[in-house]
Amino acid sequence: MNTALPVLAHELRLVLREKTIVLVLGLFLAMTALSCLIGYAGSNAVATAYRLSLDQLTNPGSAPPNPFEHIPALSLQRNLPIYFFLLGSLLAIVLGVSAGLRDRQSRTATLILSRPLRRGAYTGGKIAAVEVALAGCLATSFVLALVLSLVFPPLHLDLGATVRLAVFFGFSWLYLSVFALVGLIGGLRAKSQAMALMGPVSLWVITGFVLPQLTTAIEPTGTLNPVSVNAAGAVSTGIIGQLNTFLGPVSIADTYKRLSSGLLDFGPVTSPGGLWAVNAVPVLILLAVLVITAVLVVRAGLRYSPSEDALV
């Protein structure tokens, strides 16, 4: 019984019974589909306008080429990182908080830990369940994006673009795992459901909106652009430039958007050398944050005592 597998299996069975998780997952998949449809609609609108314009010219051969003719099909899905940044983070938080609170709310944590199950295995099973559930959600979204790319000709992807899209989803899993694990910490340690949600949501607001504004001085709505000001090389000087030097590396949301724009063939990140020209330092920082968060989850799980639980 000293294994995390029973906890993992039990948690996965309960995930789809959570109405909140199902609702957020539905919205997440809907936004994935919407990103593909927006890319197709934009491409189709430009192609239609170009074709109609050619019909009005007396000498169509002198017209410039269609501006959408040679752009990468993958770049038409450039809105995916923004939707993942918004709804994906919320989905990850809900998964983590629910996994941490489930046994505490049902008052079964004492019964579970009274069996020959180490707290380390219990916590490991929770972490594995959250990560597997999050990976399953992203895998479903990936399949949906691939299906829509086959349905709409402008979105057709070759093998290289499909690999880049898969790498983007894998990178998104790493990024969203940070919020899922912070949500799990809140679920295991917070004294109320509201407090369990407040911690990871506050982290999301700070990393997604506060830090980008401190390091770039952009408008609040500018954080929802597929490419940040940093990626465009337009970081302000003076105090903003100094803040960017110190806080830029830990702005994981900006790192996520910047590298995602490169993976999706959109933005200046891809210009020097394609996919493998992306700086590895931000990726290592994100991995370090993820490892630290996982260690904190294990620490919270080892310190958790159902007998002292005061969940309200």
Q: Using CB atoms within 10 A of its CB, is residue 88 exposed (0-12), middle (13-18) or buried (19+)?
A: buried
Q: Give the Cα separation of 151 and 105 in Å (integer).
A: 44
Question: Model confidence at 282, in pLDDT bands (50, 70, 90)?
Answer: low
Q: Give the Cα separation of 43 and 200 in Å (integer).
A: 37
Q: What is the pLDDT of residues 54-93, one digit of tens each?
A: 766 666 666 677 766 777 888 888 889 889 988 899 999 9
3-state secondary structure of 24: helix
Chain centroid to Cα 109, Å, comes to: 30
Q: What is the pLDDT of residues 116-161, one digit of tens each?
A: 667 778 888 889 999 999 999 999 999 999 999 988 888 888 898 8
Q: Give the Cα separation of 256 and 260 in Å (integer).
A: 6
Q: What is the DSSP letter of 188?
A: H
pLDDT at 237: 57
Q: Give the Cα separation of 168 and 29 in Å (integer).
A: 16
Give pTM, 2 decimals.
0.84
Q: Give the Cα separation of 262 and 283 in Å (integer).
A: 13
In our burial notation (b when 16+ CB lie closer than 10 A, e otherwise), range 218-229 reads beeeebebbbbb
Pair 241, 232: CB distance under 8 Å: no
Nearest to 175 by CA among 94, 78, 254: 254
Question: Model confidence at 230, in pLDDT bands (50, 70, 90)?
Answer: very low
Q: Give the Cα separation of 171 and 167 in Å (integer).
A: 6
Q: What is the pLDDT of residues 155-204, one digit of tens each?
A: 888 898 899 899 999 999 999 999 999 999 988 888 888 888 898 999 88
What mean pLDDT is predicted for residues 206-210?
A: 83
Considering only the C-alpha atoms of the chain, give the largest distance between any 2 of them, rounded to a whole number of Å. 85
